[in-house]
Amino acid sequence: MMKMMSEQTSKGTLFVVTGPSGAGKGTVLGRALPAIDKIHYSISATTRQPRPGEIDGQSYYFVTHDRFRSMIDDGALLEYAEYVGNYYGTPVAAVDSELNAGRDVVLEIEVQGALMVKQKRPDAVLIFIIPPDFSLLEQRLHSRGSEPDDVIARRLEKARSEYQSGDRYDYIVVNDVLDEAVRELTSIIIAQRCKTEKRIDLLR
């Protein structure tokens, strides 16, 4: 029992940052990470085409549909999701090797995959990033300018259903003022490290 507790406390925490497309989760996380030490950002695999500026192995691992299918078959993905015609997934090996080494890991993934992670790993901390107002989602998606109207419409429909699963997230971060959202996300990660079950060894 003691041994189990000790092993548990030395493992890292799995943070899952998610939210509707256009809520700004990438921006918030990108600003928060430099202020947090000892955290590993997990790079997803995807079948979608790179957007301008995206680099393979840094933004994503860009893979073919065949390759993605064999990763699924091999059990090499912690979660995966189909989204607007493309697949996204989290390679499990890197995640587990970091967690087992006691480092925290953060995933930035779609809601569908986030809920899959929570089912497999109940200890994962799910953080849902939303805009202050639902109508801002549409505005942000349009201003990004990288997608046609029908894709945006499907993203918005998806977002509506994602809000319905709200009670399955552990935290909600409102991306209104960016600095505030960054501070909230950073605080959630730091607070998690202070939880008694993570530090109980200090009392012995």
User: Interface residues with a copy of itself (CB under 8 A)?
Assistant: 127-128, 130, 163-164, 166-167, 169-174, 183-184, 186-188, 190-196, 199-200, 202-203
Cα angle at 89 between 56 and 140, to 5 degrees? 75
The length of the chain, given as a count of residues: 204
> By C-beta, is 102 or 166 nearer to a copy of itself?
166
Name every residue whose Cβ is closer than 8 Å to that of residue 199 and which is 6 or more positions away in sequence. Answer: 9
Looking at the Cβ atoms of 45 and 106, the one nearer to a copy of itself is 106
Q: How far is the CB of 34 from a copy of itself (least distance, A)?
A: 15
**At closest approach, how far in Å is the CB of 55 from a copy of itself?**
32
Q: CB of 102: closest distance to a copy of itself in angstroms?
A: 17
Nearer to a copy of itself, 94 or 188 (CB): 188
Q: Is 125 helix (H, G, I), strand (E, B) or coil?
A: strand
Q: Which is closer to a copy of itself, CB of 67 or CB of 195? A: 195
155, 142 contact by CB (below 8 A): no
CB of 91 to a copy of itself, least distance (A): 28
The DSSP element (H or E) to which 156 belongs, if any, is helix 149-164
Residue with smaller CB distance to a copy of itself, 144 or 163: 163
Least separation in angstroms between residue 171's CB and a copy of itself is: 5
Contacts 24+ apart (CB under 8 A), 67-75: 71/45
Closest to a copy of itself by CB, 23 or 45 = 23
CA gap 132, 175 in Å, rounded: 6
For the CB of residue 12, give the shortest distance to a copy of itself in the complex, in Å: 17
CB-neighbour burial class of residue 33 (10 A; exposed 0-12, middle 13-18, buried 19+): middle
What distance in Å separates the CA atoms of residue 1 and residue 7, rounded to the nearest whole number?
Answer: 10
